[in-house]
Structure 1
């Protein structure tokens, strides 16, 4: 191979931190040449204020510096022209996974609860992080517009990057994440009615570039309001995972969140009982919020929906889950060997055991 080809091959290992594809594939490498022992690489950023320019520069330097004959690396950063950005958008748009398409291979799981305070968002971010560690391509939408919490739970402080009318979601712990909280200047309240909420979710699905995902998770607001209805309309193939606590009142309210599937025609894939028990130093269990609520909910939903809705996990109450949430690093990453970390990792494994494939999909064939 010629010297430019060798450099391009090395640069193909550099992954754009937002688009999650090689910079060579995205046509971000304008030139790569040798000047004596110095490799000179010119990279075109998508926008002038790219927040991750230093990351790209460092990755390019690292990819080229180890090549034979390279004594120094000079990285020159430029900016794409409007025409180049348009070509990039067109190439990405052609690869967007249409999540609402019945033939989409992306599994969409909406995490629901009847009431707030049952740990639904904490479970959602841990499932996303655990699935990403399994090597899956995972997206996460914070659909709780009024009570958004996902950015803090995932430790995200940067804003999404805009490439004209396309939004690139920040990536945290290997998960592409979008939330209305990323577009606000401070912790201001969002005071919107139904049509605005529907439009926000619609834009998250159409304007945000997630790429080709294996799993798309949605953190729904509690209850059976506008967003729950919008999800069923915009993502008719989505499935519901219902979160409750052992408490009887929480179980009764969570049942409503599950039986909404009778009207929306979604499938409830299972029930998760959070805060099931507290493990004491002597090894015994203290059931602070009672017991049996998750199984009661599972049995009740199965009877009403007409198919099994298993109790998929009983998540213990541990301080490590709370501290991980406060620090913005899910407990499945900070304490994977803890009881709560193991329970959440196993739950993620259960949800991903159904392989991604073409089974049951119609294929376009031509003679």
Structure 2
């Protein structure tokens, strides 16, 4: 049995809490087969003492399922994660010596377990709501939105931007609309060009969005993630010292069950959950009757299960979809409407959560 055949077999072993296998994660350092015995060396970085034990058990079970394997020797080398370098004045990634990096006070991921819950629409409207709130407080232009949905970037359409960003040296200048600075893969590819990339290219792009975009000084950077727990999410938490994540879900179990898994992923990589937002919570008909088309209580149940709070509920109204299609976010097109009110509540709760987290001494 060749080392390649052993590694192919080990692709069935997932890293605990993730959908990716240990081979693609680079955890399998070596593999050999001698006289019926498989010898495998694993190397991982974690503070969780349970993870190495679980991986060893899973690898042994996977290999012993092969008829030619009589015994296994699994060597697991564990190292503690390096502490994130301190932020100097909010400098992204803590690199105070690199003046090209932008100064960002808070970086928050907007995530969901599954697609179809309106996460990008939510992120755009929340960004615009926050930008308006900060501008009213005398801090205009202090909100950024990074669209990390590499395969289906929809933020440019929803916020009313098109064209290509300008370049200053080796830095991209984010485009701006409605007081929000935006960077998206949608600015860098043609509308009819599909993105057919493997994981390493996705990781590199996200790193460039962080390190090679001249964000300027921001109070908050919202990061719109694609659904799931794959390369984009892992690249993000490895590149940016996130202040937290917001989970977006719809009320029904088909969404909330997967949203919980997304929340557990952030907890496993030590990213605080700032709360859950329930989208498409209810529909109000012309007679004023409220209809719970997708059920009710899912957002609160998800928040309770993850030990966090429900930030708010966004109604299901045509104006939200129309605003996304026309590039005029509903929070600005109908500032006195129910959707704008919901996003104002969520934005206020998010800022309060960030302030509380900043005021709490780290352990």
**TM-score normalised by structure 2 residue count:** 0.68
Residue 235 of structure 1, CA deviation: 1.4
Q: Which residue of 1 aligns with 2:282?
A: 277
Q: Give, in angstroms, the shift of residue 164 of structure 1.
A: 2.6
Match of 2:346 in 1: 347
Measure how far apart 1:203 and its partner are: 0.5
2:264 maps to 259
The gaps in structure 1 that reach 5 residues or longer are: 1-94, 303-308, 363-367
Shift of 1:158: 2.3
SS in structure 2 at match of 1:240: strand
Separation in 2, partners of 1:334, 1:298: 30
| CA distance in 1: counterparts of 2:216 and 2:108, whole angstroms | 17
1:198 equivalenced with 2:189 (yes/no) = no
Q: 1:120 to 1:179 in 2, by over 3 A?
A: same
Alpha-carbon distance in structure 2 between the residues aligned to 1:204 and 1:346 = 29
Q: CA deviation at 1:285?
A: 1.0
Q: Partners in 1 of 2:95 and 2:107 — Cα distance?
A: 11
User: Partner of 1:340: helix, strand, or coil?
Assistant: helix
Q: Where does residue 328 of structure 1 map in the other structure?
A: 327
The alpha-carbon distance between structure 1 residues 262 and 349, as it changes in their structure 2 partners (threshold 3 A), is closer
Deviations along 1:281-312, one digit per CA (max 9) or x if unpaired, are 2222111111111111111111xxxxxx1111
Structure 2 residues not aligned, in runs of 5+: 1-87, 97-102
Q: Could you say which residue in structure 2 is the equivalent of 1:312? A: 311
Aligned length in residues: 262
- Give the match for residue 187 of structure 2: 182
| Kept in 2: contact 1:155–1:329 (CA 8 A) | yes
**Residue in 2 that maps onto 1:217:** 222
Instruction: Please say if 1:296 is aligned against 2:289.
Output: no
Give the TM-score of the pair, scaled to structure 1.
Answer: 0.67
State the match for 2:39 in structure 1: none
**How far apart, CA to CA, are the structure 2 residues paired with 1:313 and 1:360?**
23
Distance in 2 of aligned mates of 1:163 and 1:211: 13
1:249 counterpart residue number: 254
Q: Distance between the aligned counterparts of 2:228 and 2:169, measured in 1?
A: 35
User: CA offsets, 1:11-46, max 9 Å, x none?
Assistant: xxxxxxxxxxxxxxxxxxxxxxxxxxxxxxxxxxxx
Q: Tell me which of 219, 227, 234 is aligned to 2:232.
A: 227
* Higher alpha-carbon deviation: 104-113 or 176-185: 104-113
Matches within 5 A, 1:1-367: 98-101=91-94, 106-134=105-133, 135=135, 136=139, 137-302=142-307, 309-353=308-352, 354-355=354-355
Query: Secondary structure at 1:255's aligned position in 2?
Result: helix
CA drift at 1:341: 1.5
2: distance between equivalents of 1:311 and 1:172?
A: 29
1:74-130 alpha-carbon deviations (Å, 9 max, x no partner): xxxxxxxxxxxxxxxxxxxxx996322299761111000011110100010011111
Q: Distance in 1 between matches of 2:340 and 2:189?
A: 32
Give the secondary-structure state (helix, strand or coil) at the position aligned to 1:100. helix
Instruction: Name 1:73's counterpart in structure 2.
Output: none
CA distance in 2, matches of 1:320, 1:125: 14
Q: Structure 1 CA distance, aligned partners of 2:260 and 2:95?
A: 27
1:249-291 per-residue CA deviation (whole Å, 9 max, x = no partner) reads 1100111110002321100110011101101222221111111
CA distance in 1: counterparts of 2:361 and 2:291, whole angstroms = 47
User: Which whole-Å CA distance do the structure 2 matches of 1:96 and 1:181 have between them?
Assistant: 31
The answer to whether the 8 Å contact 2:174/2:183 transfers is yes
Relative to structure 1, the CA distance from residue 227 to residue 361 in structure 2 (aligned partners, 3 Å threshold; closer, same or farther) is: same
CA–CA separation in structure 2 for the residues paired with 1:284 and 1:186? 40
